[in-house]
Structures are given as C-alpha cells and as structure tokens.
Structure 1
Amino acid sequence: MAKRRRLTKAIVVDTAAQMADAAGRVDAVTLTALAAALGVRVPSLYNHVASLDDLHHALTVESVRRLNGVFRDASMGKTGVDALLAMAHAYRRFAHAHPGIYALTVRGPEPDDEELGALVRDLLQTVLLVMASVGLHGDDALHAMRGFRSILHGFCSLETVEGFRLALDADESFRRLVATFMAGLGSGAGGSTQAGQA
C-alpha cells in the first residue's frame, strides 16, 4: 500500500490554488472538495486552515507572493522601459496561467493584515524601483504605477471573460497599449512628494 504523503499547509494551499485555476474561480474551492482532492477528511484540514475564509486568505497571500516573484524575475537585470515592458508581459502571462487565483492579487490588504501588507509593499517597491529608473519619483511614480496596474488589469480582465471577440491579434493590441502608456510616462508629471500607499 502506497504511503500517504504528510500533509502541510503549503500542500493544502498549493492544491487549493490548482483547483481554483482549473475552475477559473476561487469560490469553486470548498473544504469538502479540497479534502477529497487531498485524499483526507475535512477535519484534517483544520490542522492547517481554521476555516474557508482562512483558506482564502492563505490563497491570497500565496497569490501575491507568486506575483512578487514574477515581477522580480521579469525585471532582474533590466531598467527603465525594458523592465516595465518585461513586467507587463509577465503580468499578463501570470493572469493567463492562473485564472482562478489572479483575482486575489487585485484587492488591497486590510490595515491589520500585516502578512499580506508586507507582501504588497514589497511588490509596490519593486515597481517603484523601476519607475525610478525611468525618472519618476514620489507621487509621480505612484500615479504612474496606478496607471500601469490599471491598464494591465483592465486588459487581462477583459481577456478572462472573452471580452475581445473581434478577429484581431490580442497580442498586438496589448503591445500597443503598453507602448502607448510608456510613451506617455512623465508627460503628466507634476510636483513629486514622498511616496505613500498606491
């Protein structure tokens, strides 16, 4: 008889993420379905997650952690527009590869959520460093980062719901969108102040 692998929180969360991506939505993951996928009973899950809400929080943390890694890897060794372009394409690939957990990366953390808050700050810092390499700092960098995030999320969200039905190359549309944004960087810049939350 095959030996059952030892269950850990990492295995629980990773399996839940795979289930969410396969279904295309997080609410498809229930404790009953997750336990069945892991070959255990639901009570066994409570050794690792306190509730379904706790599982969803763990999934959110893992999703943001993965996106952090994607951005760091994409921008490594690059600066300026090259780094932003690499990050844009990496973001889109992440959204395509993870249609379930991607949505969890969008909403900001609650003020008392230190774990998620730290991850989000790390992600913002990665983008701000790249913005600095194109000459944007303080509020100018934050406004640019919001715009960058908005065009990426908007495009990827429309793709997710099959919002582009015309027989037109979506890759080319994305390339032009990002290129237009980058061409306008700095054109609306005003007085910069100390960077805060985006």
Structure 2
Amino acid sequence: MVRVGLTPERLTRAGAELADEVGFDQVTVSALARRFDVKAASLYSHVKSSQDLKIRIALFALEELAGRASEALAGRAGRDALVAFADTYRDYARQHPGRYEATRLRLDSETAAASAGVRHAQMTRALLRGYHLTEPDQTHAVRMLGSVFHGFVSLELAGGFSHTEVDSQESWLWTLDSLDALLRQRSTL
C-alpha cells in the first residue's frame, strides 16, 4: 500500500534536507523512513534502494545548483562571470553541504548525460568564451576551474583554513583574481 503524501519527489527533497543535516554518506532509506515515522519497506514503492535515493538527491542538487548558477551568470562576462559562477558554488556548498556533496556522486554515463551536470559544463564553457580560449585550452580550463572551486570549497568546509588568521574570503578573492589573470594571459597565447 502506498502511504498518502509520500512521493518520489517528496522523498528526494526530504533526503536532500537529511543530507544537509547529517551528511550525504549517512542518507539511507532507513534513515529517511525514520524521518517520516514509517517502516523502510513502505518507501520501496517510491525508491528502489539507498543508492537510488542518493542518485535522485544528486540529480536534484545538480538541477538546483544549475538554476542558481544560470541566474548568477546572466548578463555577465569575463571576471564578473567567473566570480558570480564561483560564488554560486561556494555559497551553495555552505548553505547545503550534503547536497553539494551529492553533486559529486559518480553517475553512470547515461544518467550523467541526462542530468543537469551537462548544463554545468555548458555554463563553464560559456563563461570561458569571454576569455577567447580555443581547444584544448578550453577543456583544460573547464577542468581547472572545477578542480579549484571544488578543492577550495571542500577544504574550507572541512575546516582546512581555520589554522591561520588570514580570512578565507581574502584567499577566495585572491584565487579568483589569479584565475582571471591566468585565463586572460592564456587567451593571448
């Protein structure tokens, strides 16, 4: 019997909230069932498994973050686009650490190709058009930006920058200024 009010969408959203509270790795069908005060078996008519739930959360988070990034990029180019895009990722990670971690979940190629992850790559390439990079430099730049943004955010969330008096915001802006300078310099080569 399907419990009234429970849908895959509602469970996905609740799973995303749970991920933010306890960490993405701790999200299971059993943990979600406890949240709704139901038996785990009653959720299996909506989600196949804990892995299916995690994939749904990842897809939800990728879509949610893509929407925010798209809004942030609108009408911007060059350094302004770079900073807006980067700030969106950092702000999302701070506001939704579990969802952010979900965006890093490895998806099979078919699921990934149908996900908002494609939009993230397209937006990164769109902001790089302002730097006039050609291939293969554009692909290298996409990978570099993703690595730098994710690396910085992951270290910051883990408390990796708390050992010094220098504010991490200063380091963030320094990093973005350095990326902008590097991308402008690469576009002249």
Q: What TM-score do the two structures reach when normalised by structure 1? A: 0.85
Equivalent position of 1:178 in the other structure? 176
Amino acid at match of 2:146: R
The structural deviation recorded for 1:150 is 1.2
Counterpart among 107, 110, 134 of residue 108 in structure 2: 110
Amino acid at match of 2:135: G
The structural deviation recorded for 1:83 is 0.9
Give unpaired runs (5+ residues) of structure 1: 192-198
Distance 1:54 1:16 in 2: 11
Where 2:97 maps in the other structure, the secondary structure is coil
Equivalent position of 2:155 in the other structure? 158
Equivalent position of 1:16 in the other structure? 15
Distance 2:141 2:30 in 1: 43
- Superposed, 1:79-94 pairs within 5 Å as 79-94=77-92
Tell whether the 8 Å contact from 2:128 to 2:138 is kept in structure 1 after alignment: yes
Aligned residues: 185
Where 1:181 maps in the other structure, the secondary structure is helix
Is 2:36 aligned against 1:38? yes
Q: Deviations over 1:71-130 (max 9, x none)?
A: 1011012122211110111110011111112122235532232xx323222211111111
Q: Deviations over 1:5-45 (max 9, x none)?
A: 6111111011111111111x212122222112123321221
Tell whether the 8 Å contact from 1:16 to 1:29 is kept in structure 2 after alignment: yes
Residues 1:17 and 1:170: Cα distance change in structure 2 (over 3 Å): same
Counterpart among 60, 63, 70 of residue 61 in structure 2: 63
Distance 1:111 1:190 in 2: 35
The structural deviation recorded for 1:188 is 3.8
The structural deviation recorded for 1:133 is 2.3
The structural deviation recorded for 1:171 is 0.6
Distance 1:146 1:187 in 2: 17
| Greater share of helix | 2
Where 1:187 maps in the other structure, the secondary structure is helix
Percentage of identical aligned residues: 32
Give unpaired runs (5+ residues) of structure 2: none
C-alpha RMSD of matched pairs (Å) = 2.0
Is 2:110 aligned against 1:140? no
Distance 1:111 1:97 in 2: 28
Distance 1:151 1:170 in 2: 14
Tell whether the 8 Å contact from 2:28 to 2:53 is kept in structure 1 after alignment: no
Amino acid at match of 2:113: G
